[in-house]
Amino acid sequence: MAKSPANILRVGICNPNSSIRFGKSMLINSQQDMQVVFEASSSDEVLAAIENLTLDVLIIDHRLSGNDGTWLVRTINKEFFDREEWPPTMIVTAPFFAVDLDIAVMRAGAADFVVEESGAEQLLAAIRNSSLVDQSLDISALNQLFEGVALAKSNDAQFNLAIETLEPNALSVLEAFASGHDDKQIAESLSFSVIRVRQLFRRILIHFAFATRAQLALALYDSQRLNL
């Protein structure tokens, strides 16, 4: 069956290992709803091409030579926000799980962290769910993760100052989010539609130049603003 271009997720892969890159490409291209449209072996290749690419999802291996995968995620996000564009969703892969890497991936603004040993289905699910991850974020579980590893709080003055310049409706959504409420609960408490809440979340993320709600939650934790 031919793929329908309108329904295909456009995927990029950055991995220094050509065999792994080939295997991921074959896997993704075997799916009816996704297609690999870009491949690279280094961060330099990605940065040279990213401005002219149209990607829905970029899969970045953490083991890049020179600067690692989280550095590339941060750099891409900054480039897009600096020119007032929304960055592609990014997924970081690694051979094994580590809590400190998981948190580094969140802080960089990647949407997901996939461990290679978890299998192909995990990667495919991460690609398919990439646009929905924020809507299902469990901020209470994230807070437990941060507390469980005794993550240090930096109390970023710039972040705190940026909060003060949020528009009132966005600030109300942010405060409800910091209290652990999901989109539906926020909508009910503020008498907004769920769509309106998600629009305000997008404004909040753009305001702080954050790509994900997990990145926002981490900043709230750092500044001791999570009320859970």
State pLDDT tens for residues 70-100.
999 999 999 999 999 999 999 999 999 999 9
Residues in the chain: 228
Mean pLDDT to the nearest integer, 192-213: 97
Tokens at residue 83, please? 């020119």
| CA-derived radius of gyration, the chain | 18
Q: Distance between CA 64 and CA 165 in Å, rounded?
A: 38
Tokens at residue 183, please? 């989109």
Q: Say whether 195 sits in a helix, a strand or coil.
A: helix
Give the pLDDT score at 152: 83
pLDDT at residue 110 above 90? yes
Quote the percentage of the chain above a pLDDT of 90: 83
pLDDT at residue 5 above 60? yes
Give the pLDDT score at 228: 77
pLDDT at residue 186 above 80? yes
153, 221 in Cβ contact below 8 A? yes
Write the pLDDT tens digit of every residue in 156-175: 889 999 999 999 999 999 99
Structural domains of the chain, ranges and CATH numbers in brackets: 5-132 (3.40.50.2300), 139-222 (3.40.50.2300)
187, 194 in Cβ contact below 8 A? yes
Say whether pTM exceeds 0.85: yes
Give the pLDDT score at 1: 46
Handedness of CA 168, 172, 173, 178 (dihedral sign): positive
How would you classify the pairing of strands 34-40 and 89-94? unpaired
Band (pLDDT 50/70/90 cuts) for residue 125 is very high
Secondary structure E strands in 33-178:
34-40, 57-61, 89-94, 112-115
Residue entry with tokens 């001791």? 224
Q: Distance between CA 129 and CA 144 in Å, rounded?
A: 23
